[in-house]
Structure 1
Amino acid sequence: MKSFVTPLLTSAALTLFCFPSFALAQANSATDIDALVGAYHQTYGFTGTVKVVQGDQPLYEKSYGLANRSFAIENTPTTRNSINSISKTFTAFGILLLVENGKLDLHKSIGTYLPYLTADWKETVTIHHLLTHSSGLPRESGVQAHDELTLKQQVMRLVDQQTLLFNPGSQYGYSNSGLIVLGALLEQVTGKDYGAYITEQVLQPMQLNNTGYYRGRNVVDRQATPYRMSSTGLEFAQRSKHYGGNAGGGLYSTPSDLYQYVRAIESNQLLSAETTALLFTPHIHSGETDAEGYAWSIKKFGDETLHFAAGSGYGTKSVMIRAPESKDFISITSNWGNTPILNMLADIYLTLKGQSITPPDANQLAKPQDFAKQLGSYKFDPEQLKMHIGMDGDTVTLQAFENKLFLNDELMAAKGADVIGLTYTDEFRVQFQGKQMLIQINGNELRGQKVDD
């Protein structure tokens, strides 16, 4: 279920990487990072693997929690997880291989290569626009979770019917629709399906033995089961956002393989240095200090430039950053959809740089035993929920899991006597009066009535 506080969560996430300039101190030991990651495990229930490299020397790698809760199978460094939108970087690399071989021109229109396109924009949108998320295509295509459409079918049935939101190249606008087109382009030009091309031309030459491409519902060895909290309790989740061709989020990997992937890119063994540089060139601004390369984001952390890629699915999250000058690297893969992975990444990075951070504290969480009488579902005015917290439906559920308190899928913190709220903001608070739940957000109060058992 969609988080009922998405606007607040998005706002918080966007501020995570706006650090002021600071002098880099000597990095703390792996012990400090271990304590930090352990705090995320204890507080937020993080499950997955973290890998940290300093100056191209391994510093820390550890797995937490269960890959499969039904059979109590633990996560390990070789457990595979969906990497969701990090897959886009593999698609971009595959496109550049064809560019370097003279089979594609970055600045030719997509209609040059896909004769079945009929949309007006086929002659104005270029491969460059698609790689930089500046095509003007909408964020989503309309593909559904149960769909098993090929990439060509997705283009013809969905993307070809879409209209542009802005003129190509005029601004940044993240677009999964654009990656569908790029995947179909790879297939059209090579005569191979996307997964076969990426496997043969990228994964195998780079010897990424724990990285692969999902094919429908086919079983993957050592694949972690994705989990998430929902309004009805703990759920296992779909490993990718749909079962069809997926050039924007269809790969799985491990943090160690992602590090090997980055090293392979930097080695220039498959692409020339000149072509590789296009991946990390700031082609278009996407924020005050952020820019977009080809499927990679270029971010500034103080005086340091970082190459950033991240992904999020129904029950999985993944992220990696590479500092090309210091040769530092951090990657996290998680099969717990409620992991605050961007906060976690930022804290690990600052710890690596010797900065002081305040780790998560499980003692700040609300205790289920203190709200035992309030556990259950509450009915609200659906228009009020939609207006103030972006939630569809009319029911909010207070529930306990692993000795933690959740409001729908959001972990609750103690905010005072008989008051709970979100862990990352004070703008959302919850109190109870008899059988009523009172939600206070941005000066507004919403009242819900408890549903009798």
Structure 2
Amino acid sequence: MKKRILRVCLIIVLALTIWAAFIAFKPEPKTIGDLIESYEDPGMKIKIRSPFSGTVLVAKKGEVIFKEAYGEKDRLTNAPNAIDTKFGIGSVTKQFTAMLIMQLVEEKAMKLEDTIGKYLPYLPKDKASHITIHQLLSHTSGLPHYNGLQSTGVSLKDFGNTSYSSKELAEVIGRTNLVSKPGTEFTYSSFGYDLLGVILEEISGDSFADLLDKKIVKPLNLTNTGFGTNEYISKELAKGYSYREVYGWDWWNSEHGGKTVEAPFRDQSTAYTAGGMHSTVLDLFIWSEAVKSYKLLSQEFTEIMLTPNKNGHCYGWVRNWDDVVEKNINVRLYGHGGALAGNSAFIALYDDETTIIYLSNRSNLKAEEILHQIHLRANNLKNEYKLKGYPNRSSYAKFIEAGGMVSLQDYFNRLSEYSGYKVNPSNSTMMGVMRIHLEAEKIEIADSLKTVFFKTYGPDEGTLNQFGYDFLYSDNPEYALEFFKENTLKFPNSSNAWDSLGEAYVVYKDYEKALACYKKAVILGEKVEHSSLKSYKENLKNVQDKLNM
């Protein structure tokens, strides 16, 4: 019996080895079509996080050189995607919202320096009197992204399942805590673009769907673009799916080495003007050409719209996305992506007059890889322009051998120069560098990196919480406390931040301090009827029981 099991195991290992070798020696795709087919194939899935399903359009100097559809519109009926299949475009919606705002600015119906209280006087004064239209457009308003809901007691799930009027949505956003003083820091915020939508409706007297139709869709004859109802989205668009890889025995029963499930419902009123539109690659190509040729907005105001602000963000566009520039230091572009549950999208307009647009009914595709590889093939370029000099972070010894912090800083200084704005190491890079210094017992350096992270990066509540938990359950749990403390200092009204700090103190068996934190979490949670209030109270009771033992 043991010999039989051993033989089966050896056969499995041999099969996997042969399969891996086949993938490794598979020839590099030469054309755009070969590339996307390889992304649709399981052998290349890991490079873009999910097998590709959707549509792709590529143009050069205003002429379409490639357009094709892949995968299924509906996995239940096996209906295939077509080139005119409509997809949710997520945050690509922000380009249209920004255009509508700029049209009103050009018409002198509003000003970029207007504070939002002029149009939404019912919002709290910390927002109404200090946040400007420009700051909403450039993500410098200080408003949080969706993670800001935590402080209001509304879970992301409940938020997505609720139908809001425009004013009700603005009021929910008004209850979130600012993450920075308006105008001082960049924080990507879909809530900012939602407020722009409410303001558009307030000024025009039209719904967003009607205003979009009147000012953009009809003038450009975009027959498959708009902002639809929940029913329309359900019936007319490609169904969205999410994918995750599986391993071990699950791999044998998997599809493409992973599990694909239909994305959950999200009410259109919550996606709204930050991410609720739908379109096709053909319509988006017409749209992109109209932006470049000033059909909807004069050259003067288009240039204002496309002027980079902090982190390269223009109004609804990004100038020189560093993740793309990093792969080819010679490219310059305007672009923006979109990601809803079950959908991914991107428009990229390169300075060399290459246009790349893709829409997909799969979540979380690796946009920078797709764009980079398509651009190479559209222009017959070799893959040899990647920014070099990123130091090895697998261990402290290898990091130091590769030049250490000097090399890391030099790498990002050069990337910043190519991108045209300050680019800092990613959160995962900072986490990794801190970790290897801690493992090597270089505590002072790790502490200095932590200080730089706190002061220079301006991490949001979710990031600080993530770092805290990552360290709490690592080989350096004592390091976690500083991240949780920083979170309560920066976000003192967040019940979740106080609950996390309490959990850290429990790990350290400092139950008195844990008790104080949990009490704070409960008090703050009760004020906003937080969805996790029951959990906060249970944590509080557990600590009280420990102290009474």
Question: Going by fraction, where is strand more abundant, 1 or 2?
Answer: 1
Alpha-carbon offset, residue 214 of structure 1: 2.3
Q: How do residues 283-362 of structure 1 correspond to structure 2 at under 5 angstroms? A: 283-284=309-310, 286=311, 291-299=312-320, 301=325, 302-323=329-350, 325-337=351-363, 339-357=365-383
Q: Would you say 1:247 and 2:273 are equivalent positions?
A: yes
CA deviation digits over 1:156-181, x for unaligned, max 9?
A: 1x111123211222221100111111
| Structure 1 counterpart of 2:38 | 39
Q: Where in structure 2 are there 5+ consecutive unaligned residues?
A: 1-28, 46-50, 150-155, 247-257, 385-464, 474-549
Q: Number of paired residues?
A: 331
Q: 1:239 to 1:357 in 2, by over 3 A?
A: farther
Q: 1:208 to 1:387 in 2, by over 3 A?
A: same
* AA in 2 matched with 1:120: D
Q: Distance in 2 between matches of 1:177 and 1:208?
A: 26
| Structure 2 counterpart of 1:75 | 81
| Structure 1 counterpart of 2:113 | 107
Cα pair 1:239 1:315 within 8 Å, conserved: no
Q: Distance in 2 between matches of 1:389 and 1:51?
A: 43
Q: Distance in 1 between matches of 2:235 and 2:127?
A: 41
Alpha-carbon offset, residue 90 of structure 1: 0.4
* AA in 2 matched with 1:271: L
CA deviation digits over 1:283-309, x for unaligned, max 9?
A: 22x1xxxx1110110006434421111
* AA in 1 matched with 2:38: A
Q: 1:159 to 1:168 in 2, by over 3 A?
A: same
Q: Distance in 1 between matches of 2:364 and 2:127?
A: 38
Q: Where in structure 1 are there 5+ consecutive unaligned residues?
A: 1-29, 359-382, 392-453
Q: Would you say 1:214 and 2:233 are equivalent positions?
A: no
Q: 1:330 to 1:147 in 2, by over 3 A?
A: same
Q: 1:105 to 1:322 in 2, by over 3 A?
A: same
* AA in 2 matched with 1:83: I
Backbone CA RMSD of aligned residues? 2.7
* AA in 1 matched with 2:39: Y
Q: Distance in 2 between matches of 1:312 and 1:274?
A: 30
Q: Distance in 2 between matches of 1:271 and 1:242?
A: 27
Q: 1:304 to 1:341 in 2, by over 3 A?
A: closer
Cα pair 1:148 1:216 within 8 Å, conserved: no
Q: Distance in 2 between matches of 1:208 and 1:109?
A: 33
Cα pair 2:160 2:265 within 8 Å, conserved: no
| Structure 2 counterpart of 1:267 | 293
Higher RCO, Cα 8 Å, sep 6+: 1
Alpha-carbon offset, residue 269 of structure 1: 2.5
Q: Distance in 2 between matches of 1:46 and 1:280?
A: 30
Q: Would you say 1:153 and 2:168 are equivalent positions?
A: yes
* AA in 1 matched with 2:206: K
Equivalent position SS for 2:160 = coil
Cα pair 1:183 1:194 within 8 Å, conserved: yes
Q: 1:184 to 1:347 in 2, by over 3 A?
A: same
Alpha-carbon offset, residue 62 of structure 1: 0.7
Cα pair 2:136 2:192 within 8 Å, conserved: yes
Q: Distance in 2 between matches of 1:152 and 1:135?
A: 19
Counterpart of 1:50 (choices 50, 56, 78) is: 56
Cα pair 2:308 2:314 within 8 Å, conserved: yes
Alpha-carbon offset, residue 241 of structure 1: 6.5
Cα pair 2:57 2:281 within 8 Å, conserved: yes
Q: Which has the larger radius of gyration?
A: 2
TM-score (norm 1): 0.68
Q: Distance in 1 between matches of 2:106 and 2:466?
A: 54
Q: Would you say 1:197 and 2:196 are equivalent positions?
A: no
Alpha-carbon offset, residue 319 of structure 1: 0.7
| Structure 2 counterpart of 1:125 | 131
CA deviation digits over 1:196-216, x for unaligned, max 9?
A: 111111111111111111223
* AA in 1 matched with 2:319: I
Cα pair 2:55 2:68 within 8 Å, conserved: yes
Q: 1:313 to 1:275 in 2, by over 3 A?
A: same
Q: How do residues 422-441 of structure 1 correspond to structure 2 at under 5 angstroms? A: none
* AA in 1 matched with 2:120: L
Cα pair 1:227 1:337 within 8 Å, conserved: yes
Q: 1:56 to 1:173 in 2, by over 3 A?
A: same
Q: Distance in 1 between matches of 2:211 and 2:472?
A: 40
TM-score (norm 2): 0.56
* AA in 2 matched with 1:298: R
| Structure 2 counterpart of 1:4 | none
Q: Distance in 1 between matches of 2:31 and 2:472?
A: 38
Counterpart of 1:96 (choices 86, 102, 113) is: 102
Q: Distance in 1 between matches of 2:358 and 2:223?
A: 18
Alpha-carbon offset, residue 384 of structure 1: 12
| Structure 2 counterpart of 1:188 | 202
Counterpart of 2:261 (choices 226, 235, 239) is: 235
* AA in 1 matched with 2:223: N
Cα pair 2:121 2:128 within 8 Å, conserved: no
Q: Would you say 1:175 and 2:174 are equivalent positions?
A: no
* AA in 2 matched with 1:41: E
| Structure 2 counterpart of 1:162 | 176
Q: Distance in 2 between matches of 1:386 and 1:229?
A: 28
Alpha-carbon offset, residue 238 of structure 1: 4.1
Q: Distance in 1 between matches of 2:70 and 2:342?
A: 16
Q: 1:341 to 1:245 in 2, by over 3 A?
A: closer
Q: Distance in 2 between matches of 1:153 and 1:171?
A: 27
Question: Going by fraction, where is helix more abundant, 1 or 2?
Answer: 2
* AA in 2 matched with 1:159: I
* AA in 2 matched with 1:66: E
Equivalent position SS for 2:320 = strand
Q: Distance in 2 between matches of 1:220 and 1:384?
A: 34
Q: 1:270 to 1:390 in 2, by over 3 A?
A: farther
Equivalent position SS for 1:229 = strand
CA deviation digits over 1:245-285, x for unaligned, max 9?
A: 6010010111111110011122223211101112211122x
CA deviation digits over 1:215-261, x for unaligned, max 9?
A: 23335664111111369943211475754460100101111111100
Cα pair 1:150 1:244 within 8 Å, conserved: no
Q: Distance in 1 between matches of 2:120 and 2:135?
A: 15
Cα pair 1:283 1:292 within 8 Å, conserved: yes
* AA in 2 matched with 1:40: Y
Q: Distance in 2 between matches of 1:388 and 1:163?
A: 25
Alpha-carbon offset, residue 339 of structure 1: 3.3
Equivalent position SS for 1:248 = helix
Task: Give the share of equivalent positions with the same residue, in percent.
Answer: 27
Cα pair 2:56 2:358 within 8 Å, conserved: yes
